[in-house]
Structures are given as C-alpha cells and as structure tokens.
Structure 1
Amino acid sequence: MSVTHLLRIQKNQQNIIIQLIVHFQYARTNFSSNVLTLQQGAVNNNIETSNSICEKVQILCRQGLLKEALDVLHVTDQKHLRLSTCTYTSLLQECLNKKSWADAKRVHAHISQTRFGTDLNLGNKLVVLYAQLGSVQDARHVLDKMQVKNVASWTSLIQAYSKHGNDGEALSMFCEMQGNGIQPDHFTFASVLPVCANLKAIEEGKQMHGHIIRRGFQSEVFVGSALVDMYAKCGCIEIARQVFDKMPQRNVVSWTAMVSGYTQIGDMGKAMEFFQKMPEKNVYSWSVMVTGYAHAGCIEDALELFQKMPNRNVVSWNAIIAGYAQSGKFDEALKLFREMQLRNVRANLVTFASVLPACANLAALCKGMEIHGSVVRSRLPFDVFVWNTLIDMYAKCGSIKHAWQLFDKMTMRNVVSWTAMIVGYAMHGFGKEALQIFQEMQHSGTKPNKITFVGVLCACCHAGLVDDGWKYFKCMTQDYNLIPSIEHYCCIVDLLGRAGHLVEAQDFINNMPIEPNAAIWGSLLGACRTHSNIELGEHVAKHLFELDPENDAHYVQLSNIYAEAAKWDGVASVRRLMKDRRVKKTPGCSSIEINNKVHAFVT
C-alpha cells in the first residue's frame, strides 16, 4: 500500500473523529438545553401546583373540612411545595373554629419549617390562636421565639393572660413590653387597665392614666371607659366620676362602669340614678343592677328588676341565681335554675358555679349529680373553678368517693382544688387521708393558703393528732409566712379541747395575740361539756354571755352541762336568765332529699 494511500486513510479517520467530537458536543449542548427547558417547566408546574393546592386548602377551610385540608397539607410535605400566608391564615382560623389544639400545633410546626417561620403576621395569629384555645404557655412560647415583635404581638399576650385570670403576668408583660422599647397603643391600654382593676393596682393605673393623657388617647371612648371602670373597681368612685364627666363621648360601657362602681360601694341610690339616666341599656347594664341589689341584701328588689328586663340572656339569669344563692335562699336559686332550663336558656360555666353551692348547702346530692350531668353534656371547656365547685358539692353532700374521683381525674389543679379535697376528707373524719393529700400538695409545689391550713388543722382535730396539729400551726408562719387568723386559733382550741387538754386550751386563749371571739370560747365550752368540766364551763359561759348575749346556743350548752351532771338548780338558773334576756331557743332544722326534692323539717 502506497504512502499516499495511507495518508488519505489517516486523514479520513481524523475527519470522522472530528465529526464525532462535533456531534457529541452538539448533542451535549442540546441535552443541556433540553434539561434547562425541562427544569423551567418543572418550576412553572410547581408554581401552578402550589397555587392550586393553596386554593384547594382555602376552599376546604371555608367549608369547615379541616381534616381534609390537613391531608392536602401532608401532600405539600412530600412534594416540597410552599403555601401562601393566606393559606396558613385559613388553616389557623379553622383550627380555632374547631377548637383543635392538636391541629393548631401541626400547622404551627409546618409554618416553622418554611420561610414563613419569621412572618410577623403569622406569629401574631399564632399568639391569638393559642390564647383563645386556652394555651397561654404556647402563646408565650411563640412570642419568645418571634424574631420581630410589634405592639400587636405584646397586646395579644397581655389580653391572653388577662382573659385566663393571670393578671399578675399580664401586668409584667406590659412592663416587659415597655422595657423592650415598644410603645403601647390605645388597644394596649384598654387591655391592661382591666388588669389594674382586678389587681386593685391603683398606683399602676394612675401611671397609665398619665401615659394615656401624654399620648392623647383619653378621647378614645373605649380607653375612657376602661379608665372609669378601673377607678370604680379600685374604690375611687369620685375620680371615676371626674373621668366620666370629661369624656367627650360616652357609650353604654361607660355608663355601665359608673353604675357598677356605685353598686360596689353599696350606694344603690346613685346607681339607680345613673341607670335611669342611661341613653341606652343593654342586658349587662340590667344585670349589674340586679347583682347590686342582691349584694346589698335587697333580693326582692333584685327579683323585681329582673322581671322588668325587656330581654334576658344567660348573664341576667346568672345574676339572679347567684344573688339568691349568696343570700342563703338556696331552694329559690335551684327553682330559678330550673325555670332557666325550661326557657331553653343554655347554661354556661358561671351558671354551674353559681348553682352547685346551693346543692352543697342543701345536701341535695341527686340534684347536684343531675347538674354535674348537665356540665358533662354541655361539652364546655375544662374549667378548674367549676371542677372545684363539683368537688366541694360532693364532699358537702357526703359523697367523698365521688369528690375523690373528680379530683383524681383533674388535668390541672390549683390551691382551691387541693384545699377542697383536704377540707372534704377532714369534715368526714378522714383526718389521716386529709393530711396525706396535704403532703402530696406540698410535693406538687402548690403553695397552701390560710383556708388550706384550716382544713389541715380540722383534720388533726378529727384524728386526735395533737402533736401534728401544733406542727402544722407553727408551719404556717415558719414555712409559708402566713399569719394565723381567728379560725386557726379556733381549730387549736378545738384540737386541745377534744383531746381533754382543757387547761392548756384556756392558757392558749389567754395568750392569743388577737382578741378571742365567741367562736373561740364556744369551742372551749363544747369541750367542757364533753369532758364534764362544770367549773371551767361556767367561767367560759360568762365570757360568751358578754360577747354574744343573744345567741341561744351558748345558754343551751351550759344548760346541758348542768343537766348531764344532774345539777337541776343550774338548769333552772340558765332558763331564768334566758327568760330575763328574752332569748328564745331557735328551732332545729334538718332536710332530706326525696325524689329529687329537698324537704325541710323543723324541730
């Protein structure tokens, strides 16, 4: 083969290689171009898919289909799609509508994983959502995690603490907000002034009044109304009147605040004067007057006003029921509750908290259990106050087992819950069980109050635990800085008296740092009867006849001491004394519940 031929073949091979290289380069370029085209198409498809999913989720939320909307949310996780702020807002609103804390947490977690985790508006909505679902701790956690906060963020949490009765924290949040350089607005002041009113924090309220004037918010009608209400509830009715008179514009809230202020100090004349001058009245205005008359002991006037109301709702019914219950007219309170049910007015937590004590005082267990059933069927949110009232009702009606079952089921307990259970065990003679509950209370970190110690000391009395009684009496001051009141001293006298330590009880009374009252001496007189100590009984009775000369129980007690010792001359002398002083023996009264009705017997 010639050299020329070989050169021609080599050249052809080079051309083929060059062609292949060119073709490969073109193909790679074309492939890249196609890939870019595909990627751009995928992005466009993702945007379209995201928009479509957002629209779908919002439609489902508007239809109330939260579960289905959350199922769609799960699809976005798998496809790594993003939702809009409006979509998250719709989901959060539907969680609130359904009162679903668990679903709210799920949506919250989804928000935190996206670029919206730092969104101010969504952060504020989460604070409001958790607050309205009753989870103030979650609301606080959201606020603490927010990188950017505004006045709405802080105000929402202040409102949350106030709504759930934690006024101390609400006031602390207000101070913390100012410490962070955030200036309160008129909504903030309208939210924090009721906190000052509840805490009777008049000095803090006056400082806020100064801020309001400097910021020019005093002309806002709801701020002015909150100021009037704050001063009235703090007992400064004259300042409240001055603020009211200077308001350029007033509404029904302003007028009602003044009416309420006068009812709180018992000036029903002034309250009625303002009430009659009101340009317009609402159900709450009428209810304030009804409550005012009831608290003043004018229950008939309260009922007359209630019957004149043009419209009634659960608030007005609660006012009259609570009025009768607090006036000791428990039968009438239960009858009004029954009438309220017959009129198809739906009871709320306040209704149950008002009517259950009536059952407790009448020992109407069946009626109390019936109302307990109404509480369950109402499906109202858990309320520790109502549960405490139920525990107290069962204990006072003699069903300590039911009281314990309720207490054991409580998801949240406060000092009243523990105290109700301790007092319940104590009043039924279960002293050791009461002290065990008290020890559990201490371990739980709940700080006991004075009423708790009354229950603890009563438990020691019933169990005959003199040494433990002394220990807990001293524990009040040493461990909890609580100053004993007359009730605690009375418990110690009863403790010593039951144990037969009458001389020690007398010495204790003589050395009390406060003046002993009739209850103290009456407790010792009862012990004198139990242990047949006539001499000391006569001495104690003299104190009682001076302190409480019209109380027939003391005369009867001394007469019984004489009778049990067969000292009939003493019995006759007591009867003559009663006759001379025109003291008559009060008839005894007992009651029994038959067929859901309470029957009273006088003897």
Structure 2
Amino acid sequence: MKVSILTRSSLVSAIKNSTSQKSLPVGKSTHAHIIKLGFLPETQLYNHLLNLYSKSSDFVSARILFDEMPDRNLVSYSTLISGYSQSGKQIHAQAIVSDLESDPFVKTSLVDMYSKLEDLGSAVSVFSSSPPIGDPVMYNSMISGLVSFGSYEEALELFAEALREIDLKPTEFTFGGLIKACSNLGREVGEQIHSFSLKTGFDSVCFVGTSLIDMYGRLGDMESSKKIFQSIPIVDLALYNSMIVGFSNNELQESALEFFGELKRNAINPDECTFSNVLKSCGGLKFLGLGRIIHGVVVKSEFWRDLVINTSLVDMYMKCGCVKESCRLFYSICERNAVLYNSMIYGHGQNGDFDKAVRLFIDMSRLGFEPNHATFVALMNSCVGHERSVYVHVIKRGLGLDLTVQNALLDSLVKGGAVEEAQQHFSKMHERNVVSWTTIISGFAQLGLASDALELFKEMQLARICPNSFTFSSVLNACGSLTDLEKGRCIHGCSIKYGIMDEEFTNSSLLDMYAKSCAQHGNGEEALELFERMEKYGVEPNQVSFTSLLSACSHCGLVDDGVHVFESITHKHGMVPSMDHYACMVDMFGRAGMLERAKCLIYGMPYEPDALIWKTFLAACRLHGDLQLAQLARDHVLSMEGEDNATLVTISNIYSELGKWDDVERVRRRMRYRGRRKESGVSWVQIKDKL
C-alpha cells in the first residue's frame, strides 16, 4: 500500500514538472505510464493531466481526456475553460499584431469566443472597440453572451439600441437570446418580445417557438405555451421536449404524458431530455407501470447508460415507493455523481429511512463527491428533527447564505412543528423570496396558527413580494379555519388582482373557505353559487372541494342540494365518492332526521364503511332519540374499535334522554369496571387561535 502511494505521488510530481517545463512529450509518456500501471482514473490525478494538456495547447488530447473522466469536479471544468481562454487570448493578440482585429468576421468571432468562455469583460471590450457596424451576427453573439452571463437587462438595452440607431434586422437567433432573457425579467417584457416576433414573422420558426414555449413555461403559463405549439406548422423533437419539460416543471404531469404519447404517435424518437422528464411525471403521479415500461424501452436503447436518465429512474422508483428497485438500480450504476446521490438521499428521506439517507451522505463525502446546496436540501427534507445538525455542515461548506438551503431548513422546521425556531430562522434570513414566505404561511396555517398566517401574509404584501397560487391556497385555508368570511372575501379579491384565479390549488381552497365560512354563518347558498360559477368556467373540482361543499349543505340543512352535489361526483365528474363524502351525507341526513335514508346509504356503500361513518350515524340517532338504530350503530362501532369511551358515553346519553335510568347505570358501571369515566362538561372560548 505504501509503494502504491509513493508511486502515485511521484507520478503527480512528474506531471507537474512536465507542465512547468512545458514538456508535452514527457507528460504524454507519464500519462502512458499511468495507464500501463493500471491506476484507477482518480479525478485529482486526471486534473493534473488536464492542466498539462491545456497549458501545452493540446486541446484535442485535453478534450478526449476530459470526456473520458468518470467524475469531474469544479477544478476539471475550470482547468479546461482556462486553457481555452488562454489560447483564445493568444489568437486575439495575433489578430491585433496582424491588424485584423477590426475585421467584421474576426471581431464577431472574438466576441463569440469570449462570450462562450464567459469572459464578459473581454467580449464587451472587443464589441466596443470600434463603432457599430450593423452586423446582426455580432449583435447576436453579444446579446447571447450577456444573456448567458445573466445580464438580462443589458441584453435588452443593447437590442433596443441596435434597433434605434442602426435599424438592426434581427434573426431567429437574436430572438432566441432575447426570449431567454425575458424568462428571467417577467411576463410583461416577454409579451413585448413575443409581439415583436409576431410582427417580423419569426414566431412560427421552430427555434423561436421553442424559446417562447420555454419562456411561458418558466412563467407558469402553459396555456400560452400550448397555443404557440399549435401555431407552428412543422414540429420537431425540441418543441415536444419544451412542452413536456414545461408541463412537468409546473406539476401538470398528466399533460406531460399526453404530449409524450403524441410524440410517439408522430414517430418522433425521444432523447434523454424526453425520457428524464417523462419519468419525472411518472414518479409524480406514481404511475409505476408506465415507469417500468419506459425503463424497459431505455434498456433496449442507446440511452441505457445515460446518467441523467438513470438518475430519473432512481427518482421515479423512490417516488413510487419501490425502494428496493431504486437501490438495486443505484448500485448497478458504475459512474455516479452528486445529483444521483442527492436523489437517493431525498428518496430515502421521503420513504422514512433517515438513517439510510445519512449513511449515503457520509458515503458521498467519503468518495469525494462535493455536497452542494441540492444535497443539503435533500438531507433536510429527510431529517425532520435533526435540521440543526445538517445546518452545521451547511455552514462549514460555505452554503449557509444559500437561499434554497435556507428555505429547506425553514420548511423542515415548520414540518417538525418547531414554530419558535422557524420564526427565529425566518426573521434572521438576509433574503426572502415567495418560497420563503409561502413556506412559513403554509406551515402556520397547517399547524392551526391561522391568525399568525394571515399576519405574515400582510407582511409579505408590505415587503412587495408577489404571492403565487400556493400562497393564496394557504391563506384561504387559514380563513376557512377561522370561518372568517370577510377576510376570505378580501383574499379572494386580492387573488383576482394578481390574476391567480385559474389555478387549481387556489380554486379548491377558495371553495373550501366559502363552504366553511358560509356554513358557519348559515349561508350555504353562497357556497353553492360559487361552485356553480366555477363549473361554468371549466374549473374541475377535486375531492376536497366536494367534502367542503357537502359539509356546508349538511350544516345549512340543504338536503336536496347536497344530494344533487353528491350524485354529480360520480355521474358528472367521474369520481368515486370518498369515505369523507359518505360521512358528510350521513351527517346531512342525520341532522334532517332522515335516519332510515342514512342507514340505506351506509348499506349501499361500494366499500366497507369505517368507524367514523357509524359514529356519525350514532350521533344522529342520539339527536333524534332513535334507540333501535343507535344500538345498531353502537354494535358496528364496538366491533371495529372495541369499547370506545366516546361511544359508551353517547349510548349512556341516549338512555338518559329517554329516561331509561337502569340502562344508564348499567353502561356507566361497565365504564367504571373498564377504568373509564364520563368527563365533566366544559365550555371553550376562542380568542384568535387561543382556547
């Protein structure tokens, strides 16, 4: 073992000497010696070789070596880019000596080169070195460089300047770069560039169409993406991929799979981008069968070793709960990277195996894979209750101020119910975005701190952070919990102002809020009217929407309306009524004194009723003093849950109300014998969220 270390060390020294002495032949001889000795392709050793080839300007060998490296880190990329950059600067110097720098072709090539090397300063310097010549290719290169460097506003300013001063005729590539910039600057700017592409006729070009679809997808507007897709006469794989990616990223997984099916029907062969995003949709929907079919197709294709697709497969199996299959695939992959480890860590956490997630994190670090912010986000999502331990590692890695990591810590604290810690962490965050605010608002609403959630929403508006559909969904749920109709209406108006009324999350929460609040205030008709308007405008209700609406009908005595809504679940919307829906109907019939109808409904259920159904029926029997049906309900509850205290108390109360004191004493003796007792009655007063 000691000889091996010395040999490795001597080889590294030899490579360094060859690099410093610019002796490429000696360096190549050392490289051959490494291969001959059978050393494993360690990243550190290969980085030294990469540095040798780059500094010797042997970029063919450098690129071959780079492509062969099983694991690349930041040093690998920096070394190769630095080599290319240095070589480019030498060519630039030669152009100056030869008095060719002002040649339009050379100048454009230099701008393009520096842009691709992300040397924005040199690109701008070359571009500004002589008066504008009106060459669209050079402007395209400069605009693309600004966009790739994240200088989006500068890219648009340059485009506007070119149009104004030299009447630039944009090309499809000009629009491609500008549209990418708009994805990061907001909808208004994007729509202006879209309109300009319509005027110039470039909107129907595949390349521009793909960029527009991608832009609207990033802005969350897949309806506009769909219209653009349908307007392009000849579609290709890139267009389909942009639609599939957009739907997948916006959690519209069914639509992503529909477009994948259309792609296959049109005999267009999918690539790694297609497969990875379709697998993401399969995981999101837990479509294990389809995921396995795609896995089989991948195995028989050229992509069977593709790391991106294999990572998506691992993620899909984890999301479908097939941990063993996911692990089997993970350990069969020879060339792993940090992204693959992140998927495994997150997957084990979501499946409740925190210990395995931590062991994978330790293995990852031991094998030389540098954990990044995504690693710590995955780890924090996996270890509710151990967030601070993970955060210590985050700080040590210099990622303590990373907003994504801070949001993940906030989410983990909220999910763990650590309210005070979550508040402290949130108040100390140097930067907060819509995810930060929505995380804490949603968490507080779910923890029953509805008033605090509404106060935070006010603060969010004062901070001029634009809420999204998830924010409004959480705030509406908070209003529903408080049955505060006035505040709910204000939030409803606010969501209309922000244009977020066509989102499924918001609409279901809106209906839930109105149903709860209207039921509390005895105004179930208003909830029904809202439901009808939503249906009229094509908003598809979900299971929660129906539960809220049926509950409102029950509390307000709207039996006929409740029956109509219940029947529409199956006949109109093609859903199977859930246990909660049946419980609402039993409660509704029970309140109205229709006990026989409630009993018939229970016996007609397509699956076995649970204890909640029978307890609801038992409460109705007590309300109307029907001892015979109460005993029927009691027998079912006791057979399911044993001698539950609440059930015995209800039976005792029924006997008491009917004046059957001997039976009351018999039930209470039974309760005392089993160590149970009837709790004394108490009254509660709610002030804010405090009782």
Per-residue deviation, residues 390-410 of structure 1 (Å, max 9, x unmatched): 111112123222223323443
Task: Report if the CA contact (8 A) 1:190-1:223 is conserved.
Answer: yes
* Residue of structure 2 in register with 1:19 after alignment: none
Residue 196 (str. 1) matches residue 282 (str. 2): yes
Superposition map of 1:219-238 within 5 A: 219-238=305-324
Q: Quote how far apart the aligned CAs of 1:54 are.
A: 8.3
Per-residue deviation, residues 190-247 of structure 1 (Å, max 9, x unmatched): 3332122212233433343344344433333222212211222223333322322222
**Alignment partner of 1:64: what SS?**
helix
* Residue of structure 2 in register with 1:343 after alignment: 428
Q: Distance in 1 between matches of 2:303 and 2:535?
A: 47
Bigger CA drift: 523-532 or 302-311? 302-311
Which of the numbers 493, 497, 512 marks the counterpart of 1:423? 512
Residue 484 (str. 1) matches residue 574 (str. 2): no
Letter in 1 for 2:381: T
Q: Distance in 2 between matches of 1:503 and 1:144?
A: 55
Residue 96 (str. 1) matches residue 183 (str. 2): yes
Superposition map of 1:457-536 within 5 A: 457-536=550-629
Change (3 A) 1:559 1:348: farther
Task: Report if the CA contact (8 A) 2:152-2:182 is conserved.
Answer: no
Bigger CA drift: 203-212 or 466-475? 203-212
Task: Report if the CA contact (8 A) 2:282-2:288 is conserved.
Answer: yes
Change (3 A) 1:323 1:524: farther
Q: Quote how far apart the aligned CAs of 1:538 are.
A: 4.4
Letter in 2 for 1:557: T
* Residue of structure 1 in register with 2:634 after alignment: 541
Letter in 2 for 1:310: V
Q: Quote how far apart the aligned CAs of 1:250 are.
A: 0.5
Change (3 A) 1:73 1:127: farther
Q: Quote how far apart the aligned CAs of 1:488 are.
A: 1.9
Letter in 2 for 1:83: P
Letter in 2 for 1:400: L
Change (3 A) 1:96 1:570: same
Task: Report if the CA contact (8 A) 1:116-1:122 is conserved.
Answer: yes
Task: Report if the CA contact (8 A) 2:152-2:185 is conserved.
Answer: no
* Residue of structure 2 in register with 1:403 after alignment: 488
**Alignment partner of 1:467: what SS?**
helix
Change (3 A) 1:227 1:538: closer
Per-residue deviation, residues 347-405 of structure 1 (Å, max 9, x unmatched): 44454444335543565444122221244355555522221221111121232222233
Change (3 A) 1:493 1:114: closer
Which of the numbers 639, 647, 652 marks the counterpart of 1:554? 647
Letter in 1 for 2:249: K
Q: Quote how far apart the aligned CAs of 1:50 are.
A: 4.2
Q: Quote how far apart the aligned CAs of 1:336 are.
A: 3.0
* Residue of structure 2 in register with 1:413 after alignment: 502
Q: Quote how far apart the aligned CAs of 1:317 are.
A: 5.3
Task: Report if the CA contact (8 A) 2:583-2:616 is conserved.
Answer: yes
Residue 177 (str. 1) matches residue 263 (str. 2): yes
* Residue of structure 2 in register with 1:444 after alignment: 537
**Alignment partner of 2:394: what SS?**
coil
Q: Distance in 2 between matches of 1:113 and 1:54?
A: 23
Q: Which runs of 5+ in 1 are unaligned?
A: 1-46, 295-299
Q: Distance in 1 between matches of 2:605 and 2:233?
A: 58
Change (3 A) 1:496 1:208: closer
Q: Distance in 1 between matches of 2:287 and 2:627?
A: 53
Q: Quote how far apart the aligned CAs of 1:163 are.
A: 0.9
* Residue of structure 1 in register with 2:452 after alignment: 367
Superposition map of 1:241-252 within 5 A: 241-252=327-338
Which of the numbers 187, 191, 197 marks the counterpart of 2:273? 187
**Alignment partner of 2:575: what SS?**
coil
**Alignment partner of 1:278: what SS?**
helix
Q: Distance in 1 between matches of 2:571 and 2:206?
A: 49
Task: Report if the CA contact (8 A) 2:668-2:677 is conserved.
Answer: no
* Residue of structure 1 in register with 2:251 after alignment: 165
Letter in 1 for 2:561: D
* Residue of structure 2 in register with 1:10 after alignment: none
**Alignment partner of 1:141: what SS?**
helix
Change (3 A) 1:567 1:355: farther
* Residue of structure 2 in register with 1:37 after alignment: none
Letter in 1 for 2:514: Y
Residue 105 (str. 1) matches residue 176 (str. 2): no
Query: Percent identity, aligned pairs only?
Result: 26
Q: Quote how far apart the aligned CAs of 1:338 are.
A: 0.9
Letter in 1 for 2:576: I
**Alignment partner of 1:480: what SS?**
coil
Superposition map of 1:322-333 within 5 A: 322=411, 329=417, 332=418
Letter in 2 for 1:340: H
Which of the numbers 364, 378, 393 marks the counterpart of 1:288? 378
**Alignment partner of 1:113: what SS?**
helix
Bigger CA drift: 165-174 or 104-113? 104-113
Q: Quote how far apart the aligned CAs of 1:539 are.
A: 4.5
Q: Quote how far apart the aligned CAs of 1:550 are.
A: 5.8
Q: Distance in 1 between matches of 2:669 and 2:437?
A: 49
Letter in 2 for 1:372: F
Q: What TM-score do you get using the length of structure 1 for normalisation?
A: 0.77
**Alignment partner of 2:275: what SS?**
helix
**Alignment partner of 2:169: what SS?**
coil
Q: Distance in 1 between matches of 2:595 and 2:462?
A: 53
Q: Quote how far apart the aligned CAs of 1:497 are.
A: 1.2
Q: Quote how far apart the aligned CAs of 1:534 are.
A: 4.5
Task: Report if the CA contact (8 A) 1:422-1:435 is conserved.
Answer: no
Per-residue deviation, residues 27-80 of structure 1 (Å, max 9, x unmatched): xxxxxxxxxxxxxxxxxxxx987449986995999583578667657748xx97
Residue 218 (str. 1) matches residue 282 (str. 2): no
Letter in 1 for 2:378: V
Change (3 A) 1:112 1:577: same
Bigger CA drift: 61-70 or 163-172? 61-70
* Residue of structure 1 in register with 2:169 after alignment: 82
Change (3 A) 1:228 1:48: closer
Change (3 A) 1:516 1:578: same
Task: Report if the CA contact (8 A) 1:287-1:319 is conserved.
Answer: yes
Task: Report if the CA contact (8 A) 2:671-2:677 is conserved.
Answer: yes
* Residue of structure 2 in register with 1:43 after alignment: none
Per-residue deviation, residues 69-99 of structure 1 (Å, max 9, x unmatched): 67657748xx975235565455434433322
Q: Quote how far apart the aligned CAs of 1:249 are.
A: 0.9
Task: Report if the CA contact (8 A) 1:364-1:397 is conserved.
Answer: no
Task: Report if the CA contact (8 A) 1:111-1:117 is conserved.
Answer: yes
Bigger CA drift: 247-256 or 202-211? 202-211
Q: What TM-score do you get using the length of structure 2 for normalisation?
A: 0.68
Q: Distance in 2 between matches of 1:377 and 1:450?
A: 34
Letter in 2 for 1:137: E
Bigger CA drift: 165-174 or 374-383? 374-383
Q: Distance in 2 between matches of 1:213 and 1:507?
A: 53
Q: Distance in 2 between matches of 1:171 and 1:83?
A: 35
* Residue of structure 2 in register with 1:310 after alignment: 394
Letter in 2 for 1:170: A
Change (3 A) 1:528 1:443: same
Per-residue deviation, residues 396-441 of structure 1 (Å, max 9, x unmatched): 1232222233234433334443333333333332211111111112
Q: Distance in 2 between matches of 1:456 and 1:571?
A: 38
Task: Report if the CA contact (8 A) 1:50-1:83 is conserved.
Answer: no
